[in-house]
A and B are shown apart, each in its own frame.
Chain A
Amino acid sequence: MSGIYLHIPFCKQACSYCNFHFTTSLHYKNDLLKALVKETELEKEYLGKEPVETIYFGGGTPSLLSSIEIGSLLEAVYRNFSIDPGAEITLESNPDDITKEKLQGWKSAGINRLSIGVQSFFEEELKWMNRAHNARQAREGLELATTLFNNITMDLIYGSPLLTDEMWKHNVDTAIDLGISHLSCYALTVEERTPLQKMIQLQQRKDVDNDKQARQFLLLMQWLKEKGYEHYEVSNFAKPGYRSRHNSSYWKGASYLGVGPSAHSYNGKERKWNIANNNIYIKSINEGQPKRETEVLTEENKINEHIMISLRTMEGLDLETVNRIWGNLQMKRLEAQLERYIQAGFAIKEHSLVKLTNEGMLRADGIAADLFN
């Protein structure tokens, strides 16, 4: 099992909170697309003989691309890798890019799953975030998408200063009522070097309130559970059968190839990531020497990642797996250290499986750090 991620680093405008790699200039779009195609050729051995089961267009805003552009990128992927016939192929999109024609084009190009960056159904919040779409487009885009795609996920953001608990309920209910089968819900995070951080520093924006974020997260877990969604990862909820296979593969330690500037790849031994600069990326790919950094993971890194990631998932941390891969001492150590979290009601243990409770999910980072080697 393996996956391919393609990073499309273009956006119409900059969301205030976003720290991903993107540009609002489309000047080098064609050169970049060519470089993406070239990189898939350069890296065609990276995943070995493993069939690719998921392809994911992320960004940035991949929905800015035409269906022809998407199609030619997919063609390059199919040309260089062996793709499972039932592969999940996701495209991230913005509501304002969604038209009937585009949807049909994406579908015929091979996209079978849409991820829609809604974030909120409230006008004032969308403005606050400097999103490119408005509330009407959010709703209409979604409605339109559901007519052509059955496998849809949407993003929602909670914990922003403007969002009351009632508004939050409204956002979640709207998604449920539209029959969206998968939701990714993120606490608004003030990332380094973002406009939001700057504005908070200058006291032009209110800082986020951690207690409120915690509360809205707990509410969210409660609401979605009632509606039959599985909380299968900290930020991800799905109706049975609708989990993101691509993202799940990250959490299962599967191999993945990231194509495009700033994209990360992992083959079970090392992780590498391309430079987060479009021009240098294009130039280095054209010279056949992709500019990137590599990190070889030590066993310690690996067990730490395993702890960190698996605790975030519904399946939890399997101590038997730890025992099998890293040995009895590590298992015993974790078992002992987990005891106090179990006592405190942050985790539960069923046989060899340790899973975080809702309260535990709220503190997954701190708990993971504590369990690190």
Chain B
Amino acid sequence: MKNIRNFCIIAHIDHGKSTLADRLLQTTHTISDREMMDQVLDDMDLEREKGITIKSHAIQINHKHKGEEYILNLIDTPGHVDFSYEVSRALAACEGALLLVDATQGIQAQTISNLYLAIDNDLEIIPVINKIDMDGAMIEEVKDQIIELIGCKPEEILLASGRTGIGVDAILEAIIDRIPAPKGKEDAPLQALIFDSVFNSFRGIIVYFRIVNGVLKKGDKVKFVSTNQEYEADEVGILKLGLEARKEVKTGDVGYIITGIKNAKEVKVGDTITNALNPTQEIIKGFQEVKPMVFAGIFPVNTDEFEELRDCMDKLQLNDASLTFELETSQALGFGFRCGFLGLLHMEIIQERLEREFNQTVITTVPNVSFIAYTTKGEKIIVNNPSEMPDAVKTDRIEEPFIKAQIITKPEYIGNIMTLCLSKRGILINQSYLTQTRVELVFEMPLTEIVFDFYDKLKSQTRGYASFDYHPIGYREADIVKMDILLNNDKVDALSALIHRGKGQEFGRKLCEKLKELVPRQQFQIAIQAAIGAKILARENISAMRKDVTAKCYGGDISRKRKLLEKQKEGKKRMRQIGNVEVPQEAFLAVLKLDE
């Protein structure tokens, strides 16, 4: 156990985490050059494209140092704000962390929030400045930032380049020398922390864990404490590039267990695994049920594909337990699902996975956060869907979730960010200079304001020089109303949105304008209206198509024309008919594109 080191890498997206991880694996011959693909740890297509590690993974590195064999377990962490709980559990499985900062970019908000999480978990931090070989490297400045942030000595900061391999040996040495070996009792009852799981279509759920106390042997009867379910350990082992089965995994080590679990819901990140016959009395602290933050409807484009979609959602949930969903019936869209996501990115990922992996074309509706409505009778209603909002006359008050938002940027963008955040009902809590050229702004903001178009605006207002992170900080009272959209006087439930009353007028106007753009001209005039209650706030008209007939239809024209119209008909199948209006798929998310 004294030769085990468990560590992770804290870094902002694009700061070179995956490249450095590759280099560590290569240098230690954990994988051969032949096995080497770029960024081996990101093995989902989507992850590689988006450049984000969505699911955390782990890999064991064997390294000889000063004549001794060491086991270094690298636990990879997801790098996006939507996944902060998963990050915290991965950190809890480690004793140390590499704090990786891009020499050309400096510290970003997300790095800081994950760093705080690491410090909260008592991790030993090894600061590493990466990409020092790049032209724009500002090594001294970034050093100052790091020192200011964690109070280390300048000589404790390592310099590296994942691309060329500079500094990789020093990093390995620091991991062994500075990160403490795990503590724990091998003879104590089993206590293992689940920090991740993946779904394998042949073997079921593969659970990744870190053993805090005790030993886990193949064939053991184990119990997952939070779910109180018992299983037999069909296979246990350690994680190399693939799975390597072992007879047992001991205290301090990182490994996997396969028990034949088919449903990801039974495996909760942060849960404790113990021995069913000799259970631990203590659960590992920090476990939380993952709570979805953003809700939206997902509907099949064709109503008759509902059953197929249900099947795909079930399968998707098997390997993504953070996705929640329940049946939703919409007057406009028929049967579908109300889904809960960790955040907007998570929502996007789910939609893309449905399309790519499951070949499902879906309509995603306006996302909203989870509000709490208190009725005049004193009932408390959780509102995850505009249709669940009680009548205004029966509502005593409504509360909305707030977040603490952390933004790090250059001083010249402070003004823009202030304007943006204040327009999003933000309250400035703190402003501090990390260095002369980096400012941290802390706001308290309603989560619902982030959901719509915050990221894109933040990016454009700061030319990309702002990083953002957030944490929920509870509920506050707010004047939230339901805005309905009417197409030719019919309310379209799937286009309703829950918004702050003060924004109603502007929001309604923009939404109507956007819908006018997205809904094509049709045979009939279309009136688009935005309303709160009975009050119409905005209206746009799409005039009817005046002429839609080809002049000639003789012998040679018939086939050509039929094919043309058949193609038109196919195009219409990607639209939903609501009343006599055909609404294209993308119109249902118009609300996210108001300023494009």
Interface residues of A (CB under 8 A from B): 5, 186-187, 189, 210-211, 213-214, 217, 233-235, 247, 250-251, 256, 258, 262-266, 271, 273, 295, 301, 304-305, 308-309, 312, 340-341, 344, 346, 361-370, 372
By a CB distance below 8 angstroms, the chain A residues around B282 are none
Q: Is the CB of B546 within 8 A of A262?
A: no
Question: Nearest A residue to B559 by beta-carbon distance?
Answer: A271
Residue pair A214, B551 in contact (C-beta under 8 Å): no
Using Cβ atoms and an 8 Å threshold, which residues of chain B touch A305? 558, 562
Which of these binds chain A: B197-205, B323-331, B565-573, B586-594? B565-573
Contact between A263 and B551 (Cβ–Cβ < 8 Å)? Answer: no
**Chain B, residue nearest A372 (CB):** B569
Q: Do A234 and B549 have beta carbons less than 8 Å apart? A: yes
Q: How far is the CB of B79 from chain A (nearest CB, A)?
A: 47
Evaluate whether A235 and B552 lie within 8 angstroms (CB atoms) in the complex, with A305-B562, A308-B561, A370-B572 already known. Answer: yes
Q: Are A247 and B554 in touch, CB under 8 angstroms?
A: yes
Distance from B433 Cβ to chain A, minimum over Cβ atoms (Å): 56
| CB of B18, distance to nearest CB on chain A (Å) | 48
CB distance from A67 to the nearest CB of B (A): 25
Question: Chain B: which residue is nearest A273 at the CB level?
Answer: B556
Complex formed: what's the CA distance from A198 to B545 in Å?
A: 25
- B545/A366 in contact, CB under 8 A: yes
B572 partner residues in chain A, CB cutoff 8 A: 369-370
Q: How far is the CA of A53 from the CA of B349 in the complex (A)?
A: 64
Q: A367 vs B547: C-alpha distance in the bound complex, in angstroms?
A: 11
List, sorted by A's number, 5 A–B pairs whose CB atoms are closer than 8 Å.
Answer: A186-B552, A263-B556, A340-B580, A367-B523, A369-B572
Indicate if the CB atoms of A309 and B553 lie closer than 8 Å. Answer: yes
Chain B positions 514-547 with a Cβ under 8 Å from a chain A Cβ: 522-524, 545-547
Q: Which residues of A sit under 8 angstroms from B580, Cβ to Cβ?
A: 340, 344
CB of B242 closer than 8 Å to a CB of A: no
- Complex: how many Å from CA A363 to CA B547? 6
Q: B548 on the interface (CB 8 Å rule)?
A: yes
Residue of B nearest to A371 (CB): B569
Q: Which B residues lie within 8 Å of A372 (CB)? A: 565-566, 569
Q: Which residue of A is nearest B555, CB measured? A: A264
Contacts of A235 in B (CB 8 A): 551-553
Known contacts A5-B555, A258-B556, A363-B523: A369-B569 contact under CB 8 Å: yes
B residues in contact with A366, CB < 8 Å: 522-523, 545, 548, 568
Contact A187 B551 (CB under 8 A): yes
Q: Once the chains are docked, how many angstroms separate the CA of A5 from the CA of B554? A: 11
A217–B549 alpha-carbon span in the complex (Å): 11
The reply to whether B549 and A365 contact each other, CB–CB distance below 8 Å, is: yes
Known: A210-B546, A247-B554, A364-B549. A295 touches B568 (CB 8 A): no
When the two chains form the complex, which single residue of A295, A362, A370 contacts B546, counting CB atoms closer than 8 Å? Answer: A362
Residues from chain B with a CB closer than 8 A to the CB of A295 are 559
Interfacial chain B residues near A362, Cβ < 8 Å: 546-549
CB distance from A230 to the nearest CB of B (A): 17
Our pick among A233, A234, A266 for the contact of B555 (Cβ within 8 Å) is A266
Residues of B contacting A273 with CB < 8 Å? Answer: 556, 559
B554: which A residues are within 8 A, CB to CB?
A: 247, 250
Write the nearest CB–CB distance from B567 to chain A, whole angstroms. Answer: 9
Residues of B near A266 (CB, < 8 A) are 555, 558
Q: A235-B551, A370-B569 are in contact. List 15 more A-B contacts (CB 8 A).
A: A187-B549, A189-B550, A210-B546, A258-B555, A263-B556, A265-B555, A271-B558, A309-B558, A344-B580, A363-B523, A363-B547, A364-B549, A366-B568, A370-B572, A372-B566
Q: Assess whether B546 is in contact with A264, with CB atoms less than 8 Å apart.
A: no
List of A residues within 8 angstroms of B549 by Cβ? 187, 234, 312, 361-365
In the complex the two chains form, is B555's CB within 8 Å of A210's CB? Answer: no
Quick one: which of A214, A264, A312 contacts B556, CB cutoff 8 A? A264
- How near does chain B come to A12, taking the closest CB pair, in angstroms? 21
Interface size counted on chain B using CB atoms at 8 A = 25
Complex contacts, A301 vs chain B, CB 8 Å:
562
Nearest CB of chain B from residue A5's CB, rounded to whole Å: 6
Candidate in A189, A251, A370 with the most chain B CB atoms within 10 angstroms: A370
User: What is the CA–CA distance of A367 and B549 in the complex, to the nearest angstrom?
Assistant: 9
Q: Which of chain B's residues 57-84 have a Cβ closer than 8 Å to chain A?
A: none
The residue in A295, A309, A346, A369 that gathers the most chain B C-beta atoms within 10 A of its C-beta is: A369
The 8 Å CB contact of A217, one of B547, B552, B555, B556, is: B547
Residues of chain B with a CB closer than 8 A to A364's CB: 548-549
Q: In the complex, which residues of chain B have a beta carbon less than 8 angstroms from the beta carbon of A233? A: 553
CB nearest neighbor in A for B579: A340
Which residue on A lies nearest to B544, using beta carbons?
A363
Residue pair A186, B523 in contact (C-beta under 8 Å) = no
CA distance A200 to B65 in the complex (A): 76
Task: Judge whether A187 and B547 touch: CB under 8 Å.
Answer: yes
Q: Which residues of A contact B562 (CB under 8 A)?
A: 301, 304-305, 308
Q: Do A365 and B565 have beta carbons less than 8 Å apart?
A: yes
Shortest beta-carbon contacts, A-B, top 4: A186-B551, A369-B565, A214-B546, A366-B548
Question: Which one of B555, B565, B566 contacts A256 once the chains associate, using CB atoms below 8 Å?
Answer: B555
Contact B565 A211, beta carbon cutoff 8 Å: no
Chain A residues contacting B548 (CB-CB under 8 Å) are 362-366
Which B residues are in CB contact (< 8 Å) with A214? 546-547
Q: Mark B341-365, 1 if CB is under 8 A from A, else 0.
A: 0000000000000000000000000
Cα-based distance from A217 to B550 in the complex (angstroms):
12
* A250/B550 contact (C-beta < 8 A), A369-B569, A372-B569 known: no
State in angstroms the CA–CA spacing of A277 and B548 once bound together. 31
Which residues on B sit within 8 Å (CB–CB) of A247?
A: 554
Known: A211-B546, A372-B566, A372-B569. A344 touches B523 (CB 8 A): yes
Query: Smallest distance from the beta carbon of A178 to chain B beta carbons, Å?
Result: 22
Task: State in angstroms the CA–CA spacing of A367 and B523 once bound together.
Answer: 8
Which residues on A sit within 8 Å (CB–CB) of B558? Answer: 250, 264, 266, 271, 305, 308-309
Q: Which chain B positions have C-beta within 8 A of A250?
A: 553-555, 558
Q: Which residues of A contact B561 (CB under 8 A)?
A: 308, 365
With a CB–CB cut-off of 8 A, which chain B residues contact A304? 562, 565-566
Q: What's the least CB distance linking A22 to chain B, in Å? A: 13
CB of B556 within 8 A of CB of A210, answer no
Contact A369 to B568, CB < 8 A, known contacts A340-B580, A363-B547, A363-B548: yes
A217 CA / B551 CA spacing, docked (Å): 11
What are the residues of chain A within 8 A of B522 when measuring CB–CB?
366
Report the minimal beta-carbon distance from B301 to chain A, rounded to whole angstroms: 17
For A368, give the chain B residue with the smallest CB separation: B565
**Set of chain A residues within 8 Å of B547, measured between Cβ atoms:** 187, 210-211, 213-214, 217, 362-363
Report the minimal beta-carbon distance from B543 to chain A, rounded to whole angstroms: 9
A252 and B248 CA atoms in complex are apart in Å by 81
Give CA–CA (A177, B54) in the complex, Å. Answer: 78
Q: Which residues of B contact A340 (CB under 8 A)?
A: 580
Output the least CB separation between A16 and chain B (Å). 16
**Quick one: closest B residue to A272, CB to CB?**
B559
Interface centre among A214, A256, A265 (most CB of B within 10 A): A214
Contacts of A341 in B (CB 8 A): 523
Q: Which residues of B contact A234 (CB under 8 A)?
A: 549, 551, 553
- A213 and B545 alpha carbons, distance in the complex (Å): 12
Which of B548, B555, B566 has the most CB atoms of chain A within a 10 A radius of its CB? Answer: B555
Q: Which residues of A contact B555 (CB under 8 A)?
A: 5, 250, 256, 258, 263-266
Asked if A308 and B523 make an inter-chain contact with CB atoms under 8 angstroms apart, the answer reads: no
State in angstroms the CA–CA spacing of A305 and B563 once bound together: 9
Report the nearest B residue to A235, measured CB to CB: B551
Q: Among the interface residues B553, B559, B566, which one has the most CB atoms of the partner chain A within 10 A?
A: B553
| A88 → B minimal CB distance (Å) | 15
CA distance A157 to B49 in the complex (A): 54
Chain A residues, CB < 8 A from B552: 186, 189, 235
